[in-house]
């Protein structure tokens, strides 16, 4: 089985090459890389174009961008990777073999934050444990899913925040996630810019409010104020 790797991005010139360059070996093994840009004002597109099979321009909105990438995908497995994330060299094998042997329909990776401080080791550990217990994955964990199931569920709900939580809630009713312990490395810039404790508290507050029924568009304003 081959994978369509879908990468939503917006003004990621600082990180996009580091994300895409390791994926060139995946392309050589028959997988495809689809970059979905939401209207970058820097040179993200110029940097990404030579390193991707397709570069798609859409309106901004991560869910909208990922859905556009999924519609353009050619392979049976969709893997959504953020534009500031670096993946293990054998991630494709972990996904394809894991899905085949487990019989599960979707999954995610553990996450590692790029920051070197000890507090980031605690944060990432708690994130991964919580995800395993709740069977809810976040976009930072590189959600992957069979294309047929993704389409059957209607793709990502096109809301300005929590689209990954919304999809996970639907997916876990079909199948438990395949939790791959080998981590992806994602940028810790949000915590570094706004402070670890304020950022963790904000994330908890937003998630709790979402589970209590607060509309995602109301939560998005607070999230945008915490942009890296």
Checking if the pLDDT of 116 tops 70, the result is yes
Contacts of 140 (CB under 8 A, 6+ apart): 82, 85, 111, 127, 184, 186
| Model pLDDT, residue 216 | 66
Residue with the larger pLDDT of the pair 118 and 193: 118
Share of the chain above pLDDT 70, in %: 91
Q: Is 131 left (phi over 0), alpha (psi -120 to 50) or beta?
A: alpha
Residue 227 in this model has a pLDDT that exceeds 60: no
The stretch 76-89 carries a mean pLDDT of 96
What pLDDT is stored for residue 83 in this prediction? Answer: 94
- Burial (CB < 10 A; 0-12, 13-18, 19+), residue 194, is middle
- Domain boundaries along the sequence of the chain: 3-187
Q: Which residue has the higher pLDDT, 160 or 111?
A: 111
pLDDT in tens, 131-153: 999 999 999 999 999 999 999 99
Give the pLDDT confidence score for residue 211 in this predicted structure: 72
Q: Do residues 182 and 145 lie in contact, with contact meaning Cβ atoms separated by under 8 Å?
A: no
Highest mean pLDDT among 35-44, 124-133, 190-199, 219-228: 35-44
What average pLDDT does the chain have? 91
Report the C-alpha gap between 112 and 90 in whole angstroms: 16
Q: Report how far apart, in Å, the C-alpha atoms of 75 and of each of 30, 79, 145, 210 are.
A: 10, 10, 11, 33
Beta strand pairing call for 85-86 and 32-37 = unpaired
pLDDT value at 221 more than 80: no
CB neighbour class for 36 (10 Å; exposed up to 12, middle 13-18, buried from 19): buried
CA–CA separation, 148 vs 62, rounded Å?
Answer: 21
Share of the chain above pLDDT 90, in %: 74
- So what's the pLDDT on residue 11? 94
pLDDT at residue 19 greater than cutoff 70: yes
Q: Which position has the higher pLDDT, 32 or 192?
A: 32
Q: What is the CATH number of domain 3-187?
A: 3.90.550.10
pLDDT at 13: 95
Q: Using alpha carbons, select from 6, 164, 176, 155 the residue that is nearest to residue 99.
A: 176
- State the pTM of this model: 0.90
- Predicted local distance difference test score (pLDDT) of residue 161: 83
User: Quick check: helix, strand or coil at residue 67?
Assistant: helix
Out of 56-65, 80-89, 156-165, 174-183, least confident range: 156-165
Q: Is the pLDDT of residue 192 over 60?
A: yes
Q: How far apart (Å, rounded) are the C-alpha atoms in residues 46 and 15?
A: 13
Binned at pLDDT 50, 70 and 90, residue 14 comes out as very high
Distance CA 206, CA 201 (A): 9
């Amino acid at each position: 089985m081959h994978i369509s790797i879908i990468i939503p991005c917006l003004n990621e010139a600082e990180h996009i090459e580091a994300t895409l360059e390791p994926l060139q070996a995946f392309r050589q093994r028959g997988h495809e890389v689809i970059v979905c840009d939401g209207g970058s004002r820097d040179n993200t597109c110029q940097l990404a174009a030579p390193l991707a099979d397709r570069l798609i321009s859409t309106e901004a909105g991560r869910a909208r961008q990922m859905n556009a990438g999924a519609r353009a995908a050619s392979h049976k497995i969709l893997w959504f990777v953020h534009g500031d994330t670096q993946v293990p060299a054998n991630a494709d094998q972990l996904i394809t073999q894991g899905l085949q042997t487990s019989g599960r329909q979707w999954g995610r990776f553990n996450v590692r934050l790029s920051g070197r401080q000890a507090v980031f080791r605690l944060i990432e550990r708690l994130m991964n444990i919580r995800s395993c217990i709740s069977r809810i994955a976040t976009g930072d964990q590189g959600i992957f899913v069979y294309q047929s199931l993704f389409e059957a569920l209607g793709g990502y709900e096109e809301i300005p925040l929590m689209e990954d939580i919304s999809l996970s809630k639907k997916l876990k009713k079909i199948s438990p996630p395949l939790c791959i312990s080998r981590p992806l490395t994602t940028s810790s810039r949000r915590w570094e810019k706004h402070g670890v404790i304020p950022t963790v508290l904000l994330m908890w507050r937003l998630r709790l409010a979402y589970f209590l029924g607060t509309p995602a568009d109301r939560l998005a304003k607070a999230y945008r104020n915490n942009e890296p």
